[in-house]
Structure 1
Amino acid sequence: MHTYKDIILGDFKQLRPSSNCTLHLPEDYEALQKSKWYAAYNVHFLMEFDDGIKWLIRVRQNQGHRLPSQITEPVIQSEVATLQVLRDYGIPVPEAYLPGYMRLKGERNETTLDYFFLSFMEGTPMDIPRSGHLGEITLPDDQLQHFIEEYAKTEIQLRNLRLPFKKIGCIYPAEHDGMLVGPIVSRGSFMNPTPPYFMGPFDTLKDMYLAKIDSALRYISLNALQGQNPVDAYLWHLELRELVSHSKVLCEVPEQLFIKHDDKKGDEMMVNSEGKVIGVIDWEWAYVTTESDAFSTPWLFNRTLTYVREGSNSLTHPEELLVQQYETMGYSDLADCVRDGRLYLRLDRIGYYDSAYKKSGFREVFGDDVPSDLTPPEHDVDWRVFSMKRYQKDEGLKDVMNRFGWTLERAEEEAERMH
């Protein structure tokens, strides 16, 4: 009887038939958790060949239960296809191959693992210290400037790619040859509860964000999203839906599309002993999108109390440095992506309602596209009353309010008590 080790090594042997391989396994699960090979969504196992070449097996964590193959296989196919496209364009990323059961017709997965093969990339993940979960980057000035320069170089490499794709979505291998853009694989609520699980591709960002919002609304109506107040979450997403629907920027059909790394925390950049970026890893959830979306600055740059609690959309100090760096390097378009990027960062919160976030910050990023009569009160209890009245004809809202025991009268009474 073949073990999983035999099956997986035999699978990879088809890719490197001339070399013998040693698979390094930890002593136990506790040792794996403490190792550098363990991450939130994936674990990795090192394969070392007799010619000195190293590869990794990247295995999706099951989080207590194994997901359907209609979810796990597109996620893996998209990450591998994205890495292959990036390598073809000369971007320093790992080499990647699908497992045999996805690569070869007639093969089936003889394990209960969801995995693929990834070349080992030398270097150390870049560490970006912060003053707290909601705090500024605390690198000394010289190290901060170095980080900005290295980050800008990696973004410029991606900006200079000229991709053939015309729709917003994830990259997949085509049935016969080449690559195509298909549905977006994503975290959170941006998927259907039944097959087909993933949505897209999309012609515009407006289409994509409306699909995200509608998906979140469906899950909120079932009380299936995290949070304490599903009615407020539903109202907030209805407001976002109105804002997105009126946005002129989001309805533009893009002429050129770019690959967005959708999990930028800093540690995706592998650096050498001199702190130079030598590669970028973790391309799960990457997708093809507009330049403004792809090169807006991520949560890494903006995780501050003023952004969350005060609704501030002002540039942080690292962002100001990044704007200057792009301008110095002759990429004013990327500088504009940073200046205007709050819109996309705010919309990343779709599906994650949190009353700690000041709501005015989400309206502000839509600029002149905000409907003139969308002027709710500042305090949440008054905003709730305003929103219930504004969206009172929405059938989904009626059902949610009824299900969770809310009426307009109750909301008005609570607002009066708070004052």
Structure 2
Amino acid sequence: MAFRPQLTIVQDEEDYYPAYANAEQEEIETLGQKINYAALETHAMALRPGILCHAGPLRFDRQTKHEVMGGMNIHVNVEFQDGVTWLARIRRSNATSPPPVVRDYIILSELATLQFLENVNVPTPRLLGYALEADEGNSVGVGYMLIEKLPGNPLDWARATEDQKHRIIDQLADHAIELSKHPLDKIGSFNRPGDEHIGPIAREEFSNVTDGAIHALGPFTSMQGYYIGYLHNILDRILTRQLYTHHPLDAYLIHRFLLDLTERVWPVEGENEKIYLNHADDKGDHVLVDDDYTITGIVDWKWAFSAPCALSFNSPLVLLDLGGFYAGDPAISLAESYFAEALERKGGIELAESVRGGRKRRFFEFCCGYDMYTDWEGFKGLFEGLRRCVGVYGELEWEDWRGIALERYEEDEGVLRLMV
């Protein structure tokens, strides 16, 4: 069956934040108890013979937790006597985490991605060692990778001045053009450390687990095939009560409609594009900068996959005007426009076109699998924006669209099952 998180729902907002903080503390303490720090140090010292090191144990501190805990991973500093510091990057384990076999597959993909990036002129952490959770010889107790700790701090986009933002955007344009010099042959994720083999997509929502074995979607030869496979998987999970259990019929109608829109958003005639690596989580904190806003590193490649130019070189998420975007505004932001101009100025004309014409594809991407239960208003804005961009029922309010969708799909087997 597919991975389905078991969540405790806290209805009262006053109760939510203390409960969330307590859950984070319990998660860090539980993970810290699983880690064999001596074994981690032994592995690190074997990679740098003759130099002692110390792996700092995980401790929960609300003031500094952002330094060790991200959305999906936790980092342990491994400090050598000569001043060199590495990071042990460990996947978080909580109520929403996928099974270990899926976590290991995503780690494998990130490992292979970092190795690919060693030959690309983009500042990324060097992979130094690793062990999967399922490896027989792994005495550390968890899956992990050892990577360089790069200098700099996560980009705080909101606090940057216009000049600083332009400096960052110019560098991001350089990175995009550099990545465009390294085309790939299919849509999917690197999944074999040591070579550039592209396999199935390494993301939780693309993965099913049956009898302890992972079955992930992909690789694909077109974005149309990618989204058709993904949307069929979502529809199947709705019908088996693995997704959208609160409003399954509405969610099914929406994703059935998105399935029909796939050809409009990713037409067949546009499927001969070359394919490139896409970060897939470029919301800003993946960029490390120094005090002068020089980018010192691009990190957090856990969900990276290869995709056509129109997706891989669409605007980084950090450049979106989120207010306008979630309201369904089809216009790109000023930052996105500057990014397109920078690409064009540096010779990336096709890449600039991906940015200027990318809003329709971005709306479509966000609508697929969106968390409608916790952000219904945000979804409605995205969905209306998408319908306006493709010219299908763009003028309709939600209730009017829903009525038409019920008529349109009244004979659909999934709709009939959900209406029983």
Task: Name the TM tier (shorter chain).
Answer: 0.7 to 0.9
Change (3 A) 1:42 1:35: same
- Given the alignment, which residue of 70, 73, 79 partners 2:110? 79
Q: What corresponds to 1:135 in structure 2?
A: none
Give, in whole Å, the separation in 2 of the partners of 1:38 and 1:186. Answer: 19
Matches within 5 A, 1:202-241: 202-226=220-244, 228-241=246-259
Matches within 5 A, 1:209-358: 209-226=227-244, 228-247=246-265, 249=267, 252-309=270-327, 311-349=328-366, 350-352=368-370, 354=372, 355-356=376-377, 357-358=380-381
Give the structure with the larger helix fraction.
2
Aligned partner of residue 314 in structure 2, secondary structure: coil
Gaps of 5+ in 2: 1-33
Give, in whole Å, the separation in 1 of the partners of 2:35 and 2:274. Answer: 47
Deviation at 1:337, TM superposition (A): 0.9
- Given the alignment, which residue of 119, 126, 141 partners 2:148? 119
Query: Structure 1 runs of 4+ off > 4 angstroms?
Result: 100-103
Aligned partner of residue 30 in structure 1, secondary structure: coil
Do the aligned residues in 2 keep the contact of 1:48 with 1:54 (CA within 8 Å)?
yes
Q: Are residue 5 (structure 1) and residue 37 (structure 2) matched? A: yes
Give, in whole Å, the separation in 2 of the partners of 1:60 and 1:70. Answer: 12
Do the aligned residues in 2 keep the contact of 1:93 with 1:280 (CA within 8 Å)?
yes
Deviation at 1:338, TM superposition (A): 0.5
Do the aligned residues in 1 keep the contact of 2:235 with 2:252 (CA within 8 Å)?
yes
Give, in whole Å, the separation in 1 of the partners of 2:324 and 2:132. Answer: 49
Q: TM-score scaled by structure 2? A: 0.82
Do the aligned residues in 2 keep the contact of 1:158 with 1:259 (CA within 8 Å)?
yes
Give, in whole Å, the separation in 2 of the partners of 1:273 and 1:301. Answer: 20
Q: What corresponds to 1:166 in structure 2?
A: 185
Q: What corresponds to 2:73 in structure 1?
A: 42
- Given the alignment, which residue of 170, 183, 192 partners 2:208? 192
Do the aligned residues in 2 keep the contact of 1:56 with 1:120 (CA within 8 Å)?
yes
Range with greater deviation from structure 2 (289-298 or 108-117): 108-117
1:394 maps to a residue whose letter is D
Range with greater deviation from structure 2 (281-290 or 2-11): 2-11
Do the aligned residues in 1 keep the contact of 2:112 with 2:195 (CA within 8 Å)?
no
Q: What corresponds to 2:4 in structure 1?
A: none
Deviation at 1:122, TM superposition (A): 0.7
Give, in whole Å, the separation in 2 of the partners of 1:392 and 1:234. Answer: 12
Change (3 A) 1:339 1:31: closer
Q: What corresponds to 2:17 in structure 1?
A: none
1:91 maps to a residue whose letter is V
Give, in whole Å, the separation in 2 of the partners of 1:102 and 1:178. Answer: 21
Give, in whole Å, the separation in 2 of the partners of 1:50 and 1:284. Answer: 30
Q: What corresponds to 2:387 in structure 1?
A: 363
Deviation at 1:35, TM superposition (A): 5.1
Q: Are residue 95 (structure 1) and residue 100 (structure 2) matched? A: no
- Given the alignment, which residue of 46, 50, 59 partners 1:14? 46
Q: What corresponds to 1:388 in structure 2?
A: 406
Aligned partner of residue 57 in structure 1, secondary structure: strand
Give, in whole Å, the separation in 2 of the partners of 1:140 and 1:29. Answer: 33
- Report how many aligned residue pairs link the two structures: 378
Give, in whole Å, the separation in 2 of the partners of 1:344 and 1:247. Answer: 6
Q: TM-score scaled by structure 1? A: 0.82
Give, in whole Å, the separation in 1 of the partners of 2:333 and 2:117. Answer: 30
Range with greater deviation from structure 2 (316-325 or 193-202): 193-202
Give, in whole Å, the separation in 2 of the partners of 1:252 and 1:260. Answer: 18
Q: What corresponds to 1:151 in structure 2?
A: 172
Aligned-residue Cα RMSD (Å) equals 2.7
Change (3 A) 1:181 1:317: same
Deviations 1:31-58 (A, max 9, x none): 6963512212111111111232211100
Aligned partner of residue 117 in structure 1, secondary structure: strand
Deviation at 1:144, TM superposition (A): 2.9
Do the aligned residues in 1 keep the contact of 2:37 with 2:57 (CA within 8 Å)?
no
Do the aligned residues in 1 keep the contact of 2:133 with 2:141 (CA within 8 Å)?
no
